């Protein structure tokens, strides 16, 4: 059974993915959990604390999925499986938690901003390491692996936001997948 603190983090994540940082209050969380607002404050001093804790859990889960797809697969399959994580977020009609938090950076405390930046750096490094491992056999005219890694991560984050906004399925995400298939 899910404990109260885990449920609060899950609900905070859902609210942020749908409505952003200002899209919920402790009262909303309390009502959804069937507890008093003061009980939410027992677990978290303020919104910044629950957002940071929620981001930590989201990152941990995300990179556990990434680690699982990184084992014993071809590069193209690894990239397709990672893109599937983004597609699943889109199919649930959610935003990537990290994408929303990045868009609302000025509403976050410094520790959450640092943690969020670390998420993107770790993802860029994941792409960088895979691309570098195939240098010479897979790249079509790309010499700057860091720029390519940055481009892929930026495209995935932005593509998810655009596809959700336009509500036309996963056009941007599909385009990214197609480009990666050509390159690799």
Supply 117's token pair. 């930046």
State residue 74's pLDDT score: 85
Give the tens place of pLDDT for each residue, 126-147. 999 988 887 766 555 566 888 8
Q: Could you give the number of structural domains in the chain?
A: 1
Cα(114)–Cα(98) distance, integer angstroms:
12
Provide the residue range defining the domain that includes 171: 55-183
Are 97 and 23 contacting, i.e. CB atoms less than 8 angstroms apart? no
Task: Please report whether residue 39 resides in a domain.
Answer: no
Q: Which portions of the chain are predicted below pLDDT 70?
A: 1, 136-143, 168-170
CATH code assigned at 156: 1.10.357.10
3-state secondary structure of 26: helix
Task: Please report whether residue 80 resides in a domain.
Answer: yes
Task: Please report whether residue 22 resides in a domain.
Answer: no
Task: Please report whether residue 142 resides in a domain.
Answer: yes
State residue 141's pLDDT score: 59
């Amino acid at each position: 059974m899910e404990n109260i603190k885990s449920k609060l983090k899950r609900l905070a994540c859902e609210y942020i993915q749908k409505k952003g940082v200002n899209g919920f209050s402790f009262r909303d969380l309390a009502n959804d959990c069937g507890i008093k607002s003061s009980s939410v404050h027992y677990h978290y001093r303020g919104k910044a604390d629950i957002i940071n804790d929620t981001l930590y859990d989201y990152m941990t889960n995300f990179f556990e999925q990434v680690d699982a797809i990184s084992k014993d697969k071809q590069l193209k399959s690894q990239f397709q499986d990672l893109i599937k994580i983004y597609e699943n977020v889109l199919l649930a009609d959610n935003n990537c938690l990290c994408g929303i938090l990045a868009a609302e950076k000025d509403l976050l405390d410094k520790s959450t901003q640092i943690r969020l930046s670390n998420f993107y750096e770790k993802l860029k490094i994941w792409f960088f390491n895979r691309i570098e491992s195939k240098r010479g056999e897979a790249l079509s005219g790309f010499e700057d692996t860091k720029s390519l890694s940055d481009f892929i991560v930026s495209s995935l984050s932005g593509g998810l936001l655009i596809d959700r906004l336009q509500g036309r399925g996963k056009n941007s995400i599909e385009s990214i997948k197609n480009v990666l298939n050509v390159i690799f």
